[in-house]
Structure 1
């Protein structure tokens, strides 16, 4: 068994598509109209056959309170791994991405957290050599 698709709730699929592709560098895998919304998934350019991230509309009544609580408590909705956190942090800051946590040592990893402009905090992780990553 393996993970095929996971989702992140987004306030606006068009805005999310632009952010996740133009800024983060993912590529669209599926873009299928489904009524007012789309089955819109992105994948890493480094693993185009890997796990898909569904940019899921935040329309269910439970989503807004859930997302608001996570952001209020500083809890990221997802984690993405990078090879060089400092380099990726600088690249994203230069593109206007707002970080709520600067690159920080956190035990076996280095991490940073940014606002995805779609109602979520996203964590970047760089595995340390000692962690086996």
Structure 2
């Protein structure tokens, strides 16, 4: 069984990428993301406040990158955030995760060693 979620002590993606998504995910359009936490970036897309800047950091990110972090709107986060996985979740490498971590001097995540399969006698 894997250790604790590596995202809880990382947060690099939230402070490295622009988090943009379709405006229909905003609360005023029937979605979940609070309107006051987004800014318009195109006619059909918004971005999380703070991530539209040259040195991005999502306004919903709490804590210190690489130490301990959390998302203040975790249950209301956008599809962009919901779909971004740490490297090696379900054995899938995510080079974007590695890139964000590297920007903060964090090493890339490593795949979990294969769990030993113990045959069951029937």
Scaled to the shorter chain, the TM-score interval is under 0.3
Which structure dedicates a bigger proportion of its chain to strand? Answer: 1
TM-score using structure 1 length: 0.25
* TM-score normalised by length of structure 2: 0.27
Larger Rg: 2
Q: Which structure ranks higher in relative contact order (CA pairs < 8 Å, sequence separation ≥ 6)?
A: 2
